[in-house]
Every structure is written in structure tokens, then in C-alpha cells.
Amino acid sequence: MDKQNEVLLNTFVISKKKYRVFYNAGVLVWEAENSKKEKTTVPIGDIISATLSTTASGRSSSKQNANNIATTYGTTSSTHAPMNETMDYDRIPVLPTSSSTTTNATINTMTTATTNLSNRVNSYDILNSECDDDHYGVSSAANVNYLIIHYARLVSPRTNKWRVQQLSLYNGEQRIVKFWHNRLSDDIKEQARPKNILLFLNPYGGKQNAFALFEKYAKPLFHLAHVDINLIITQRAQQIYDIMTSQTINLSNYDGVVCCGGDGTFAELFNGLVYRTMIDLGMDINCPPYLPKPSIPIGIIPAGSTDTVAYCLNATTDIKTCIIHIILGFFSGLDISSVYRNGTGSEDRQPQLLKLYASVMSYGFLGDVTMDSENYRWMGPKRYDYSGVKKFLRNRGYNVDVKVKIEKEEIDGVRVDKNNPHDGVRCLENCQRCQLAASKNDRNATDCDTVEDVSVRGKFLMVNGANISCACHRSPQGFNPNCHLGDGYLDLIFVRHTSLINNIRLLLAMSSKTKKISDLPFVEIYRTKQFTFNSHGQGHENGAIDEDQTASSVTTTATNSPKANGNGTGTKQVPLDKKLLSKWNCDGEILLDTNVTVKCNCQLINVFRRGISCRDNTCRDNDASILNCCGLCK
């Protein structure tokens, strides 16, 4: 009989109660015999493992075998009340694999000194040892009447937190238990999930507790899912990029590459992966004709200061949630923006590629904060607060000229923006807008007949090219909550230079859970695939450029100068001090080039993520012709 039409139906005991358990077409259902209200449904895509056991807990007594491997837990204390004796949100026991598997901790001379990490290597003995059934009290002669099922479940829709829960099924007939185990195990193996993962761990990011978080949460969860981990602990900046591009690692041996760290660690990873793909294809990495899409998905385990990328991908920085999505193998495309140096391209040659970024590239205030904070690295994450207060009180503005490519469409004879950044549609699970962008697969090509160049000039506090909403715990709405992860567009946010009072209003809006900075009158947002940025130097309060500096000179339009004739056409040669220019903050790193062109590459990489569940019931009334946030809301 076909598996899709085959139905498994038996009675099992769960927590001293009899339940009818069904399994058909990849869906597991159990309900109490005396009450149909106690019904739970779990798809096979959410089941992590199915294991035979002699006990309801899935763990054996130490009296059975003196050489038992110690059980490892995801956490030492639980803040959640368990549903019953066999279902617990936080206790994640390490179970044996169906066959002898080995998880390696690779620490070579390229990553760290052996003498400094000998104790860390010893901590992986539990993972390097081969596990047989006898270690867990399950031998060929044992009476295995329990089927232990671990599955993932959304336990907090409001905070998008997922947990691994345990289900213990008891039946007096071993034949039935083993039959169910074999069937579930075969279906789990058929799922497209990563079995071998290359994991980079940054022990110095954030609160410098990445290794402790990996030991406490990641290692037992990966072991539970029978995932082999090749761990590389980095010891310096840009080491991940160097390892990825050196071709010393055969990426074809892995189903995914994951980093444990912050946003900077993630930026190193996808930059190295894209550049590695260009190297493998024999492309010029300085001036590539196009950016190829890597075939291997990547993921992030949040262990940084703000973890903006992880928050935007999963709507939470909960480490167990992010690990669960990696284990289950859910992934989708993520837009990556590329930064090119102005004036380096020609008709037969692409401009010079400088950097790739996933979150935001910011000029002005945030760039100044990043530059200044480098002088206070000894302060740790607090250096950003200290430098932020300094630059905030200084309230410096910058004169810039930005050319933005805006796509237009004609409605009732009127040309309007094709993509409205204020449409109120958020990027949630099964986002139709991102799915439509992925189906085009045209390398981000645009119709020149529908694209107009819009020039934005003036004095601004900061200019931000946001690839994602950049939301985090400190800024729940981010720059624009309607920014999508994979639609092929970035949001260009201009914050005009105004008074210190307006800057305070900006900070309050950024930290609010309900207000958006787009509601402020001095903030402008454009949705585009490409923009070109040119800076014109530092101005005084009246907008005139400082003529006392003699470091260098540029030609600029003197529309703000007191000597202008009022027609806005006069130009003059004026001195410019490069120290009065700001720098770009590109994914938390300083980019020294000021005048750049930025292009958004639609879903250039695949990232492990499940998607954010929709909690807004009002979107069910949306017009069906509109690209809704998620498929469940139609």
C-alpha cells in the first residue's frame, strides 16, 4: 500500500491515560479516548526524532550500566510548567542515534592554539564517543515498550518561541512499538534536513558567552536530531572569511554552514560564502559580472550584542528557536545588497565590488558612532551607548546627493511608485511578495521604461540603506517594519538634519513598540533596487561649506551658500576636509569609501528560517488581489 494512503491506528498510553494515535499522510494525531477535546496534531516536518526506550523518560537508570553516558540537558532549570510528565518545554535529553554517529569538534592551527583549548576539546568526548543502545538501557534483549517522540512546537505565538516537546507512547506489544518506530524513522529520514553542518563559533562577540551557549543549548539539540557538527572556534576578525575563501574546506561535504555569534559574524560568513562561490566559478572577485547564488544554506545562532539579523529572520533572538529551525531544515531566500565604488566601472567592465551586507548600511550618525566606538573596545557592548550619546549631543549633519532608481507604474493615467514602503504589508510566513520575487529568477533585472531617477539632496543626520527592517529588542519596529526579506528591494531612509528636540523624537520612535519613524515629518523612505551616493562635505548650521579647511577640494553646487544668486545654478571650487566627512557603517563594520553605488540582489543566499507566524487577525479582511503577508491570511 502507498505510504500516503496507509493509516496507522493504535491505542497507546500517555501519562497513564489511553489515547488513540493516528498517523497518515505525514501527520501524527493523538486524542484521549474519553474526550475528543484533548487532540494534538503534529506534522512529520516538525518531528525531530523517534527513539525506542525501556522507560517513559527515555533515559536509563545508572544501575543498568555503570558506563552510561551522562544525559545532557538544554537548560538546568525550567521556567515553564510542563504539560505533563512526558512533555517538557526545556528539558532536552540527549538520546542515542539510530546508528553510530560521530560529532567532531575541529580545532586546528588555523583556528586556535591547542594548548589554550585543551579543556574545550575534552568537553566533546561525549560527542566523539560511539553510542550503542546498551548505553541507554536499550539492548536487543530489552523490553522496549516505549516510543519516545521529540517534536518542535510553537509555545509562544506572541514572542515566536519554539520548544522541543517530548511524547512517550506506551504499548504492551513490542511489535506495534517497533513498527511505529520504523515507520516514523523512515519518514523523518526522507525529510530534507541537514545532517552535516559546518559551524563557526565566535567566542569574543557580544557578552563573550557563545561557547557556553553552544554547550548548553546547541550541542544537546543537534545530538538529539542526529546532526554531525564540525566546529571551528575563531580567534580573530575576518577569520571566517579567510577560511571560507581559502578552499581548504570542501563545502560539498556539508548540508549547511552556521555561525554562532552576532551580526558581524554572520556578515563574515555570507561574504566568505559568496566570494567562495565566485572563486569556484573562476570569476573576478573584484569586478564580477554578476553575483552567483551559493547552493548551500547558512544559518545563525544568536550570541551577539543586538542580533538584529536573527531577530528579523525569526522575530526573536531565542537561541533554542533558531537552533530548531536549523535542525528542521526550513530555509528561504534572503536579499543581499552589494556595494560598489563609484567611478570604477566602464561599458565593458563592472565597477569594483567593495562589500556585501545583509542588514543596513548607514552614513552619518550611525557611521560616526561605529567609528568612535572603536576607540573604546575595552568597554565591550557599552561602548556603543557611550559613543552614541556623544554623537547624539553633537548633532552633526552632512550634505549629500543621492540618486535613487524608483520603479513607476501608471494607474488611471497617473504615474505612481510601483512599490510603496508604507503599504502596511509585513514579511511573514509564506510571504507572497517574496515568493513572487523568487519565481522571477531574473538576476534582479528591471524594466528601464518603468524606472525613473530621483535625486535627493540636502543636509541629513543619517542616510540608511536597509535590506531588512533592522528590528531588535531595543527597536521593535526598526527602520521600517514593512521591509521584506526577499522581495529584491531595499528601503532607503533619509533623516534630515534638524534640531536636537527632533532627534529625541526620532529615538523615542525607534524604541517604541507601536510608533514608526516614517510618521515623523523629517524622515523620508524610498523603496528601490539601486541608489548612488555622493557626499559633499560638512556644512555649518546655515548649510554653507567650511572654507577654512585646506585638506582637499571638491566642486559642489552652491545652492545653500550665502553667495548663491538664488537660481541654484552657481558652482564654485571649495576646500573640503575629509575628516569632516562621515563613514559608512556596513553591517557593523567601517567602510572607508564614501561615494558608492548600492544594488540589492534578490534572495542571493538561502538562510535557515521558518518564517514569522501571523498574529494579526485584521489582515484576514485584506483584498485577495493584494499580496498579503502570509498564505494563512487569504
CATH 3.40.50.1970 fits 1-58+143-191, yes or no: no
∠ CA 527-160-474, nearest 5°, is 60
State the pLDDT at residue 580: 66
pLDDT tens figures, 561-619: 333 334 444 444 444 455 568 899 998 889 988 999 999 999 999 999 998 876 544 44
Mean pLDDT, range 531-558, rounded to an integer: 47
- Assess whether pLDDT exceeds 70 at residue 423: yes
pLDDT band at 295 (very low <50, low <70, confident <90, very high): very high
pTM of the model: 0.79
Bigger pLDDT: 455 vs 94: 455
∠ CA 416-421-426, nearest 5°, is 130
**How far is it, in rounded angstroms, from Cα 139 to Cα 132?**
9
- Assess whether pLDDT exceeds 80 at residue 192: yes
At 473, phi and psi to the nearest 5? -65, -35
**How far is it, in rounded angstroms, from Cα 341 to Cα 198?**
33
Note whether 1-58+143-191 and 355-422+452-537+580-599 share their fold.
Answer: no
- Assess whether pLDDT exceeds 80 at residue 387: yes
- Which amino acid, 6? E
Q: What is the DSSP letter of 349?
A: B
State the pLDDT at residue 624: 36
**How far is it, in rounded angstroms, from Cα 182 to Cα 193?**
18
Catalytic-labelled residue, pool 263, 368, 487, 587: 263
**How far is it, in rounded angstroms, from Cα 540 to Cα 552?**
18
State the pLDDT at residue 239: 94
C-alpha dihedral (491, 494, 500, 502), degrees to nearest 10: -70
Q: What's domain 193-329's superfamily in CATH? A: Probable inorganic polyphosphate/atp-NAD kinase; domain 1 (3.40.50.10330)
**How far is it, in rounded angstroms, from Cα 399 to Cα 552?**
16
**How far is it, in rounded angstroms, from Cα 299 to Cα 605?**
10
Cell numbers for 41, please give them. 496534531
pLDDT tens figures, 350-361: 889 999 999 999
pLDDT tens figures, 480-510: 999 999 999 999 999 999 999 999 999 999 9
355-422+452-537+580-599 — its CATH code?
2.60.200.40
Among the residues of 298-339, which ranges form H helices?
A: 308-314, 319-328
Residue 90 is a catalytic residue: no
**How far is it, in rounded angstroms, from Cα 489 to Cα 525?**
12
Cα–Cα nearest to 92, from 248, 320, 363, 329: 320
CB 618 within 8 A of CB 427: no
SS (H, E, C) 187-246: HHHCCCCCCEEEEEECCCCCCCCHHHHHHHHHHHHHHHCCCEEEEEECCCCCHHHHHHHC
Cα–Cα nearest to 92, from 240, 256, 216: 216
Residue spans of the domains in the chain: they are 1-58+143-191, 193-329, 355-422+452-537+580-599
Separate counts of helices (H) and strands (E) for the chain = 13, 25
pLDDT tens figures, 97-146: 333 333 333 334 333 333 333 333 333 333 333 334 433 445 444 678 99
